[in-house]
Amino acid sequence: MASNTFSAADSALGYLYQIRVALLWSLSRIKKDVEFVVSLETLDDVTFDSKGGSPEELLQTKHHRTREASLSDMSGDLWKSLRVWFEGHAKGQIPTGTNLYLLTTAGAPAGSAASFLRREGRDVARAQRLLETVPSSSDSQANAPAYSAFLAVSPASRRAILERVVVLDRAPGVLTIDEDLKAEVFWTAEPKHHDAFLQRLEGWWLRRVIKQLSASPQPAGILSAEIEAEMSELREQFKQDNLPIDDDLLEFALDDATYAAHADYQFVHQLKLITVSKNRVGAAIRDFYRAYRQRSRWLREELLLVGDLSRYERKLVEEWELAFEAAKDEIEATAAEAAKCKAAKSVLKWAEQVAIPIRPGVTEPFVVRGSFHMLADEKPPRVGWHPDFHDRLAELLNPGSSVLPKGVTGGGTE
């Protein structure tokens, strides 16, 4: 397939890289136990302010996907960064003393100006001399505004700004930064759960960044306390007596398509047997959907073992049996259908309200309710509501395998 000249893939990866790097640097700063505010696309790609609002660090990120980029003396990446910083100083937006970082996947050639602005082998005076020769020897129109901003200040001012510039070249790319992120969160969860922990942390971070970028009129920064609070919440969820509940499932709202897709499920037929309302059926479908996907993720990420789930389901069935038999004892075997439906609804109400946590810290009700509906959907069903649900379902349904949610295969994975 031919490449698309107008593809935005590189730009998109650059923005994603910026977001991931901002998280990485934020996690690193949190370890220093100093309060800060981080924002994207304000003064720079990433800006770290003190709690009082004064910028302390500005970070430019440059990501290259398919080519071996070079941070030469005429590099566009280098001069774009210098333009942002020199113009920021000229406008009074960047205070003297602010640290300026250029983090790039490109490499600075030996002897280049950028190579002398690294932390190691640093020689700012030499870097300045090399940069001062570029405007007169370059015909780059793209770099021309940067050359003007650089030459507009005195040599002493250039030196003062360059003293704050640090080049971090050959940085890990967007796909290889994971190990650095894991190193920052290694103490938050067991090593085998680092991927699952980071997936949830980055999901929250992306949503928080979107909120920050879309704030109006002035983008509001993200407080370090917010990041610490989310980390603390996730740490609790990854303890032995707990499991993470994912926000996308908590926020899932049943739509007409999902309702229709589940209309012929066995657990739905069980509800229709006892004539519950459409809204109650909808709530059951929502809980079934949430519980199936949440449990599948726990299994896939090895946060929960198949044996743990089997023991939990046995406990649910045992508790249901007590409620089910008690409801049957309240009516005669020859009771009218209305009496049987009333008894069935009492069992369903019990299942909708009972708290039987899969682990002590997991208190989200949809896990219990959805798990009951999953048991009611098995063939043969392990739980039911109508006193004669086995016989009634046999009359109503054709034999066959249970239908799984759209996009879901067997074996407990999504």
Beta strands at 46-50 and 55-62: parallel, antiparallel or unpaired: antiparallel
Q: Listing from the earlier edge strand, what are the strands of the sheet with 222-223?
A: 165-168, 99-104, 55-62, 46-50, 36-40, 222-223
Is 367 a residue whose pLDDT tops 70? yes
Between residues 5 and 135, the one the model is more confident about = 135
For residue 387, count other CB atoms closer than 10 A to its CB.
Answer: 22
Q: Helix or strand or coil: residue 223?
A: strand
Number of DSSP helices (H) and strands (E) in the chain, helices first: 16, 6
Q: Which of 36-50, 59-73, 300-314, 397-411 has the lowest mean pLDDT?
A: 397-411
CA dist., res. 347 & res. 349, Å (int): 5
Instruction: Give this prediction's pTM.
Output: 0.81
Residues 244, 234 contacting (CB under 8 angstroms): yes
Domain boundaries, the chain: 9-237, 247-396
For residue 404, count other CB atoms closer than 10 A to its CB.
Answer: 15
How do residues 204-214 score in pLDDT, each as one tens digit? 999 999 999 98
How do residues 87-135 score in pLDDT, each as one tens digit? 999 999 999 899 999 999 999 999 999 999 999 999 999 999 999 999 9
* CA dist list (Å): 206 to 24, 99, 133, 199, 337: 13, 25, 42, 11, 53
Q: Is 178 exposed, middle or buried (0-12, 13-18, 19+ CB in 10 A)?
A: middle
Is 3 a residue whose pLDDT tops 90? no
Strand runs labelled E in 182-244: 222-223
Using alpha carbons only, what angle is made at residue 17 by residues 12 and 22, rounded to the nearest 5 degrees? 130
